[in-house]
């Protein structure tokens, strides 16, 4: 049996007619860049996020970058985020000329530790970017409380958390603004690159709308310096179709995660993902931890099961970001995640047979790894 980590082809086939029709309509109307399909999707997405407005852009990375620019963040400023994230969070900060200041993540949720934020604040700090990693929101009560007490902006990196909730409120509706990615593999994915910002701050939204279209206040009238970061009409039309199915598909991810949790909770040396008290997790990634990670990854590959690692090297240990001045040991939890994290396929298009197969094979492989103690990570702290 083959179990791909994600199956975009199966997803397309489950909604082929609607998607084909939506693409055709955009072509017929030649609304290729921006336009009515982007406007419609923005409204639908804002409503889905319990937000006033949404601004479609070219990618999640652009969403982060433009939001920081719109908050007037630039050279000389600092922005606090986590060591355990996808690189784009840090890239966006650096693109403004500001300096990323990293903090460690929580050992249970893998999200930002709010208790470390105050210690990272300086007179130059302008914003905090909590990343809702793997589809679970950061502790937004605590993050907002500490950030606002220092007068900092809060920008959610919700690129992995479409539809996730904190105390019954959706990702994207906390903080000053939130950034989403519609990279094809995300819970809500385009058929190419796309992203969006959600916010309740209409002034901020106006500024981001100008920034994404060459800083124009009117056509060819450039009020501020901008860029071309518009969303494609075809992507918007596809996203409108897929947004209608997002909640159902997120629920399927959560069911798959619960199935794995039941099967793996009792395995010694495995830490299954935890849903924090006020969180509704949408399992963009089903990430467990095991000291036998490297063995499991390769043994599962041999059985036809494709897994992933999110992420193998934390930001502060990447060659590209040595100049941030951190070193190994600075963020112990992020480093443990890097050596123990294993993401199993949990996408909504998995069949019950595939789920069973992954469960059996992971249990078998983990058993071998425990018995032989083959883990090359055995020098690391044990996980249970």
Q: Which residues make up the interface to ligand PLP (CB under 6 A)?
A: 59-61, 85-86, 88-89, 131, 157, 159-160, 181, 183, 195
Spatial distance between the Cα atoms of 257 and 285, rounded to a whole number of angstroms: 9
Spatial distance between the Cα atoms of 320 and 371, rounded to a whole number of angstroms: 38
Least separation, in Å, of the C-beta of 297 and ligand PLP?
20
Closest to ligand PLP by CB, 113 vs 366, is 113
DSSP 382: P
Bridge-based pairing of strands 216-218 and 286-290 is unpaired
Taking a C-beta distance cutoff of 8 angstroms, is the pair 163, 187 a contact? yes
Q: Which has the closest alpha carbon to 277: 172, 167, 174, 175?
A: 167
Least separation, in Å, of the C-beta of 368 and ligand PLP?
32
Closest to ligand PLP by CB, 51 vs 57, is 57
Least separation, in Å, of the C-beta of 111 and ligand PLP?
11
Least separation, in Å, of the C-beta of 266 and ligand PLP?
31
Spatial distance between the Cα atoms of 68 and 175, rounded to a whole number of angstroms: 13
Which residues on adjacent β-strands are paired with residue 131? 157
Least separation, in Å, of the C-beta of 100 and ligand PLP?
13
The four Cα atoms 169, 170, 172, 173 give a dihedral, to 10 degrees, of: -20
Chain-centre distance of CA 56, in angstroms? 17
Taking a C-beta distance cutoff of 8 angstroms, is the pair 334, 328 a contact? no
Closest to ligand PLP by CB, 38 vs 383, is 38
Least separation, in Å, of the C-beta of 362 and ligand PLP?
24
Least separation, in Å, of the C-beta of 85 and ligand PLP?
5
Taking a C-beta distance cutoff of 8 angstroms, is the pair 239, 233 a contact? no
The residue count of the chain comes to 384
Transcribe 195-254 into DSSP letters. EEEEES-HHHHHHHHHHHBTTEEETTEESS---B-BPBHHHHHHHHHHHTTHHHHHHHHH
Distance separating the N- and C-terminal Cα atoms of the chain: 31
Closest to ligand PLP by CB, 161 vs 324, is 161
Closest to ligand PLP by CB, 66 vs 365, is 66
3-class SS letters over 37-57: HHHHHHHHHHHHCCCCEEEEE
Closest to ligand PLP by CB, 318 vs 359, is 318
Residue 20 tokens read as 């084909």
Closest to ligand PLP by CB, 156 vs 370, is 156
Spatial distance between the Cα atoms of 31 and 14, rounded to a whole number of angstroms: 26
Closest to ligand PLP by CB, 61 vs 369, is 61
Least separation, in Å, of the C-beta of 32 and ligand PLP?
20
Least separation, in Å, of the C-beta of 183 and ligand PLP?
4
Q: With H, G, I as helix, E, B as strand and everything else as coil, classify residue 126.
A: strand
Position with the least CB separation from ligand PLP: 60
Closest to ligand PLP by CB, 150 vs 227, is 227
């Amino acid at each position: 049996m083959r179990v791909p980590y994600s199956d975009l082809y199966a997803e397309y086939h489950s909604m082929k007619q609607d998607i084909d029709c939506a693409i055709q309509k955009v072509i017929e109307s030649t609304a290729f860049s921006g336009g009515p399909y982007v406007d419609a999707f923005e409204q639908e997405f804002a409503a889905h996020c319990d937000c006033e407005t949404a601004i479609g852009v070219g990618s999640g990375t652009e969403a982060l970058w433009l939001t920081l620019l719109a908050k007037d963040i630039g050279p000389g400023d600092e922005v606090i985020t986590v060591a355990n994230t996808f690189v784009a969070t840090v890239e966006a900060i650096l693109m403004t000329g500001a300096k990323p200041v990293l903090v460690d993540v929580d050992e249970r949720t893998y999200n930002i530790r709010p208790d470390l934020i105050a210690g990272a604040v300086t007179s130059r700090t302008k914003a905090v970017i909590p990343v809702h990693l793997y589809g679970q929101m950061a502790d937004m009560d605590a993050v907002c409380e500490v950030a606002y007490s220092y007068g900092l902006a809060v920008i959610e990196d919700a690129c992995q958390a479409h539809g996730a909730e904190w105390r019954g409120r959706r990702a994207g509706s906390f903080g000053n603004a939130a950034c989403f990615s519609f990279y094809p593999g995300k819970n809500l994915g385009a058929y190419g690159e796309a992203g969006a910002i959600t916010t309740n701050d209409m002034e901020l939204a106006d500024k981001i709308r100008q920034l994404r279209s060459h800083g124009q206040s009117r056509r060819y009238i450039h009020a501020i310096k901008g860029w071309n970061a518009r969303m494609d009409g075809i992507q918007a039309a596809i996203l409108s179709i897929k947004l209608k199915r997002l909640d159902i598909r997120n629920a399927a991810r959560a069911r798959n995660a619960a199935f794995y949790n039941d099967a793996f909770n009792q395995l010694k040396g495995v830490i299954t993902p935890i849903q924090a008290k006020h969180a509704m997790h949408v399992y963009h990634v089903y990430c467990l931890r095991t000291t036998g990670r490297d063995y499991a990854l390769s043994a599962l590959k041999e059985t036809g099961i494709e897994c992933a690692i999110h992420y193998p090297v934390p930001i502060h240990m990447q060659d590209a970001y040595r100049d941030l001045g951190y070193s190994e040991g600075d963020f112990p939890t992020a480093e443990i995640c890097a050596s123990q994290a294993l993401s199993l396929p949990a996408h909504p298009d998995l069949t019950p047979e595939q789920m069973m197969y992954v469960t059996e094979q992971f249990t078998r492989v983990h058993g071998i790894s425990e018995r032989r103690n083959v883990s090359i990570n055995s020098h690391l702290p044990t996980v249970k």
